[in-house]
Structure 1
């Protein structure tokens, strides 16, 4: 456990640094582009991107996960994976080009034709990425991930902002995506050299693991993307733009706070697949740490959404405040069972994950569709909150089935984080009532800083006091204490 934990923490530190840079660039990109582009521009590209994601997921081969779990992949396995991915990318590019005109007619949006033609190239490029990158994840080596992620995001950011500032066109979003994808291909071969050869060997071997995973990915993508298609068709481009930007911003703190751990945890879980006791212990430790980080990040964004949107994006984006408040909160709460995906994959229970995704699809579609038709965009948001909480509960039940950890025990491991985040949210909302109303951007900045400065110590202080009151049980606080002790020891020796 110690060896894997140390490697996981080191890998997470590299990923944390990577995500910090990428997160900063992503947030800055949204802010800059929101000033130069209209909500309808975001809606147009979101519609094309949604179709692209659905097409990609429906045909996803999940070969990376199969290679990670393979006990001894050879160069032939990697060449086979490259061949299959490249063939798939070419076919999807041709399909996307053929579907561009019918889609523009269906949504009565002529601009959609050119956007889909351009984004079709990203499908082709996506199939050319170096498959040997999975070796880095298998060995829990993540400094190369830092190079890949940062270079990819940086070039896409520069290209998108340049086009937005000069032309103020939705093409900024499209070109940024293409430049980012091209950078990924080039850097992937520089970081880990590989000369692929065309071969269709090992197809059965690779597909035997990835078949159910691919089916689950199809259902899961439909689960989380069908609402974009509905909103674009029923409400139009501008509401879809609000929904896209609001949802993306709501996801950032939770995603960026947890991706370093969740991205590193699957190889660790896979290495423990033959030791149920250690696997269960590892899951509980990492899950509690993920929740302790994600809850204050997501709930904190929800609490400060109003001054943040007014300050960063301007008054024209005020309709997304409610979206951020609702979705940031539910994203944070969903982390209570979010690690069930790598856990199920590590135990080769991909069919079970597929059944879960299918069940949630049949629950989410009617609820969100009914909310849209009855109440418009607010109905979609309420539907997502309801189904998001249901999904978190389903995940925890699934965890109990996989590693025999009861739901109440899972909640108990996260009890301090839940209570502390409630104290934080209540304290910040109460204090904000007595703050003077901001009249300009300077006032908004001061209000935002005061809320953050109050929320952080409230959460950390509450967590520490509860931990002490419970006689210092093992949990996220213990892991943080060990890390701080090690850092202080190194500082003293230096």
Structure 2
């Protein structure tokens, strides 16, 4: 029953996030045709300050409340009060930093941009906390509707302003419109009478200490690329880099990140059963690789036709950036289940350790390689640091739940083989198409190669799964759903001892 609820909740959240990311993609495409790359670079630079400041004071209130055994009104009131205070505090700090930040980057336009963008953290902190009680019950449809409404409103406002004004203010307006709309919609779908209260502060205090420290380190690590590139290069190169980065991150953000809370709820329910916890963690890790690996490799292989079709020829300078940025995200897939597991086991003190480790690895390489080589050096620093974090995640998972490092690495072997076959097939077909049809349109090249890659990957994965005796995993879940729709006989998964693949 729990597995069914978790799967259903994850499916709903993933579907919602895919729709919202599709909306983001449409917005990006329209803005890319209406605005210049330098406009994206300017807003990205201002947004980096917003992101760092907001992340430093991030309060994972939802995750904390989800761990409460008996949820009371005072927990929701305290969460709302802390969230509102945090939003006002972030806005105040941003307004104070606007002038020195603009002066440091020699662009006075940043002052007004930061002032407008500072409205986002305020409104994000004013959503109805009543939503948490529904999430705790594994009911996510309200959150999904709220997110969709916010994204639609952001799309409408951003696109309208971009078409009418051709100004970078379109990006800023869309950024602010989403949280404002979501805050209003949250009180409609999850009615709540605001009451300022801090009676449950002690419950939040200890946990938030570790996570806040982790967020400070993580935010600096995440935005160090943008901050450095904004200083050593112009808005044009920064705009190309951030746009390529946003496109390459779509698979991770749209499919994998949204399932964090369902996974947290699921892992929390089996945290007292070590064997079930190990099995659940391994299956989640394999599923993340199975879904994310082909998407990221495919993005890298098809970077040029993707850029040509989605953004147009004047964005071709972003092709090599996107090609390697997509590959740099692959190590993140291995560390994805670690966060929910650490939260479920109440081991939050590992977050700042992990993030400090990543920062210590990345920052020296970033400064030296970034200044000397520019964007290639920045991407190299990211790849090295992400690999280091994946290794850290392997070792920490072994320590916490006893799952061997080799087991974790070899677990998704079917995905590795299938991805390798997909890569070879796409590269061969791409070379043939471009040799035989030298002037093939990018959209046809993209459609042909993407379709071929998907067929090769799914077919290879299915054959390997069948050859292994249909073990538990994402392939089994997919087969069961297809069998139900096609009225085929359902298959029972065959487990072979410790073989979790």
Measure, in 2, the Cα distance between the counterparts of 1:252 and 1:213.
25
Structure 2 match to 1:445: 443
Q: Any idea what the Cα deviations from partners look like across 1:373-427, whole Å, max 9, x if unmatched?
A: 1111111112212222222222122211121111111122200001111110111
User: Residue 125 of structure 1 aligns with which residue?
Assistant: 123
| 8 A contact 2:423–2:453 mirrored in 1 | yes
Alignment of 1:157-236 (within 5 A): 157-236=155-234
Q: Deviations over 1:139-188 (max 9, x none)?
A: 21111122011101110011001111110100001110111111110111
Aligned counterpart, 2:460? 462
CA deviation after TM superposition for structure 1 residue 491, in Å:
12
Q: CA deviation at 1:260?
A: 4.1
Is 1:282 equivalent to 2:280 in the alignment?
A: yes
Cα RMSD after superposing both structures: 1.8
Give yes or no for contact 2:57–2:215 (8 Å, CA) kept in 1. Answer: no
Distance verdict in 2 for CA 1:377–1:108, change over 3 Å: same
CA distance, structure 2, for counterparts of residue 51 and residue 181 of structure 1? 18
Q: SS at the partner of 2:487?
A: helix
Question: 2:274·2:401 contact (CA, 8 Å) conserved in 1?
Answer: yes
User: Scaled by the length of structure 1, what TM-score is found?
Assistant: 0.95
Of 253-262 and 47-56, the range deviating more from structure 2: 253-262
Q: Which ranges in structure 2 are unaligned for 5 or more consecutive residues?
A: 491-501
- Preserved CA contact (<8 Å) 2:328 2:379: no
Give how far 1:228 is off: 0.8
| Counterparts of 2:208 and 2:488, CA distance in 1 | 44
The Cα of 1:55 is off from its aligned counterpart by 0.7
Q: CA deviation at 1:210?
A: 2.0
In structure 1, C-alpha distance between the alignment counterparts of 2:142 and 2:153, rounded to whole Å: 17
Alignment of 1:25-64 (within 5 A): 25-64=23-62
Equivalent position of 2:402 in the other structure: 404
Correspondence for 2:81: 83
Structure 2 contact 264–341 (Cα < 8 Å) conserved:
yes
3-state SS, counterpart of residue 319 of structure 1: helix
Q: Does 1:394 align with 2:413?
A: no
Report the equivalent of 1:272.
270
Change (3 A) 1:362 1:417: same
* 3-state secondary structure, aligned to 1:435: helix
1:375 to 345, 363, 373: 373
- Equivalent in the alignment of 2:109: 111
> How many residues end up aligned between the 2 structures?
489
Q: Measure, in 2, the Cα distance between the counterparts of 1:94 and 1:214.
A: 18
CA distance in 2, matches of 1:189, 1:342: 28
CA distance in 1, matches of 2:73, 2:329: 39
